[in-house]
Amino acid sequence: MTLPVPDTIRAADGAEAQIYAQGAHLIRWRSASGAEPLFLSQRSAFTAGTAIRGGVPVIFPQFAAEGPLTKHGFARTAVWQRQPDNEPGAACWQLRDSAATRAAWPHAFWCELRLRIGGERLDVALSVHNPGDQALRFTAALHTYLRVDDIGAARLHGLQQHRYRDSAHGGIERVDADESLAIVGEVDRIYFDTPAALRLSQPGGALRIEQQGFCDTVVWNPGPAKGAALADLEPDGDRHLLCVEAAVVGRPVSLAPGAHWQGSQTLIIGG
Ligand SMILES: O=P(O)(O)OC[C@H]1O[C@@H](O)[C@H](O)[C@@H](O)[C@@H]1O
């Protein structure tokens, strides 16, 4: 079944965003100046129950295959409920446990995804609350797909001297020695305890990527071979995307009954 039309959020200065209720999935962000920094594959299925290849998938309660659940958890394909808005350029969706989520993951929880746009800035915040009487343990990510003009000319700055797990090479752990990260072939790395701000530079301009609450950062590009094997990615799509994911993976969150956790990612064009 094709997804219903996504909601459009508008700020007073002309910034605009489109979000599907499925996954509270931001698929498009146009800044006030007209820049569109997010990648979205036109070959995405856009059908109920299928993950979308692009934008900002919300990964919860399990990152990748870091546990027994379906890859990347169920939040990205669950239908979230939009909450009443009280200001232009901002919106909030909520996901609560249901019979379907409890069948996969037997816990009471509620999540909120808050979005704010304006000027050249996007803020996305995920919060998780534990209303139950047992501790909740989860991993999570904002799996942001950034659009790049040419992956060969893009550089990610800020990860030097940080430890990472190289998922594209058997999960070996290394320390990044390079001043900036250039993407050559498949790159699939979980960087641990990363700085609060990274910078993506390209000949066309720079993007500042901030995160709070999320202690790790995942950097992913499928490279040409795995990219060609992804049915929902257009030919050469790997040359035009770079995922820089605010994540919490290395030390899963443990939420006591009644406790609350929040993590956010901010993109600032030109930063
Ligand atoms: O194809 P999916 O399920 O959306 O996952 C995409 C990628 O997501 C990244 O976060 C993982 O590190 C990769 O290993 C994975 O391939």
Cα 53 to Cα 147: distance, rounded to the nearest angstrom? 12
Which sequence spans correspond to the domains of the chain?
7-269
The answer, yes or no, to whether residue 271 has pLDDT greater than 80, is: no
Average pLDDT, the chain: 97
Confidence label for 165 from pLDDT (cuts 50, 70 and 90): very high
Atom of ligand 1 nearest to the CA of 226: 16
Does any ligand 1 atom lie closer than 6 A to the CB of residue 109? no
Domain 7-269 is in which class? mainly beta
The Å distance, Cα 11 to ligand 1 centre, comes to: 31
**Half-sphere exposure of residue 2: CA atoms within 13 angstroms, side-chain side:** 3
Q: What is the DSSP string of 225-267?
A: HHHHH-TTS-TTGGGGEEEEEEEEEEEEEEE-TT-EEEEEEEE
Q: Which of 21, 23, 26 is nearest to 5 (CA)?
A: 21
pLDDT band at 85 (very low <50, low <70, confident <90, very high): confident
Q: What is the 131 CA–ligand 1 centroid distance (Å)?
A: 30
Q: What is the pLDDT of residues 100-128, one digit of tens each?
A: 999 999 999 999 999 999 999 999 999 99
Q: Quick check: pTM over 0.95?
A: yes
